[in-house]
Amino acid sequence: MDCDSLFDEMDRRVDEYGVADATAARISGFPELRVDRFLASFANEGVAGEAYAAWLERLRKLDETARLIEWRNLPAEATASPLDAFGSNVETVVNVCGHILAEQELMYPHRRGQLLSAIEPPDAYSTWQRFFGLYFLSRWVIVDGVWRVQREMREPFLNPDQNRSGTGRLIRYAPPAPDALSSAEVAKVLEQSALNPLSIPEPSDDQFARLFSTFAPIWAVDTADDNDRIGSADIDDEDGKSYINTQKPVVYRLPSYTRLGGQVLLQLNYLVWFPARPSVSWMDIYAGRFDGLIWRVTLGMDGKPLAYDSIHPCGCYYMVFPGEGARFVQPLDGSEPILSPMPILGPKPGERLVIQVASGNHFIRGIGSEEQAAVSDIYGWLAYDQLRSLPMPNGRHRSLFDTDGLVPGSERPERFLFWPMGVPSAGAMRQWGSHAIAFLGKRHFDDPWLLEKFIQPRREALGENTLQAVPADDGDNPLKLDAH
């Protein structure tokens, strides 16, 4: 069996057993490659030479990672015969075959044009839902609801004294012993790791660990019951269903990238899970199992946070916080308005950001800073990719997500109301790469051009590039909330 046939057979079995991974999309005619929105952004630039080879290798790595995860999630009876002819383990076979096929793409120049034309950025929206739901008419009914939710989310930032009261006990979750870098050290890591043909900052594993530690927040959660406790994703021994184990508070970490002002900038994603968003009434359409928060830090090349943004894992409740010296500008393209409650001043040495989280709906209700002090819990670290292949009691593995990138069991009644907006199962928790973050227009959390549409950065954040630094609007409130 040749490598093309092997990969086709692996894909066939993955599809047959329903364990396909949704993080990156397969590319028709190129079985050893997959693409996400970030790497798709280079296709329109006509990458060539060393840049093309480097880009191709990243596409191959995306496939290798996803393919091995999918293979591990298959039942044992589905994984035997395709690899027998190679006499080796699956990791070696996938790596060797991936390199063989990728080298063929480099050998034949016409394949480059075919590949570039085959690249299509994934789309988390459903065109047919919008068509049959009469989106261009029904979307205006949603506008008022969007503004109403944003007013509710903005209120704690406008009235910080009211924000200090909660419905339960405040529990702080802090990162393990700090291993922090100075801004100058961060800038050096970013500069040196971006010395590659695509200028993508790619720190080593050890450097990534220190970067995540440096910018890790403290989570201060108003805790009324176990649904407000941070936990880890697990699979129940009895019924085989996924759940959030609050006995093991962890933060899942994931790097990503944005493109801003001609630079590729590194982003650090911190994800926490809660068991549920409990219902507040018999007709609460937003309640359901599983809830969480993703907090993202975008680093300028000067080693300082350029911007922070956040969503819930459903893709809902998008918020943007420009960093010190940067400026937020509301997009005027008719798309959904963006909530940007305040800029965030950089913490002083020895301080950490504190994300204040409300009970029940788990909205961010304030941002503060404090020195790391005694807390109820110290959270652990886990790689986000572990969610793509969780160990089961029977020795097998299963993804937290289904083939559409949704968390089974996290469905919300709101999906029936927002169906015409084109977001499949609106309100359900989603896998990275599947986060539609607006009902009006189209907006994806992992769109590499997302921040460029509404963040105007300071000049030094972009290294040698020459975008003008823009002073804050008079209406901006450079408030630094306390964490009490």
**CB–CB of 19/163 below 8 Å?**
no
pLDDT at position 74? 92
Secondary structure (DSSP) of 341-374: ---BPPPPTTEEEEEEE-TTT--EEEEEEEE---
Which residues of the chain are under the pLDDT cut of 50?
Answer: 465-484
How far, in Å, are 137, 409, 413, 414, 421 from residue 131 at the CA level?
10, 27, 21, 19, 9
Distance CA 18, CA 24 (A): 16
Tens digits of residue pLDDT in 49-79: 999 999 999 999 999 999 999 999 998 877 7
- Over residues 267-318, the pLDDT tens digits come to 999 999 999 999 999 889 999 999 999 999 999 999 999 999 999 999 999 9
Per the CB < 8 A criterion, the answer to whether 295 and 221 are in contact is: no
pLDDT at 97: 94
Q: Are strands 351-357 and 218-223 parallel, antiparallel or unpaired?
A: parallel
Quick one: pLDDT at residue 85? 56
Q: For 252, which DSSP code?
A: E
Structure tokens at 109: 């120049």
pTM of the model: 0.92
Answer yes or no: are the C-beta atoms of 27 and 115 closer than 8 Å.
Answer: yes
State the Cα–Cα distance between residues 6 and 158, nearest whole angstrom.
Answer: 59
Question: How high is the pLDDT of residue 353?
Answer: 94
Output the CA–CA distances (angstroms, integers) from residue 243 to 233, 360, 391, 434, in the order listed.
6, 17, 13, 20
182-219 confidence digits (pLDDT tens): 999 999 999 999 999 999 999 999 999 999 999 999 99
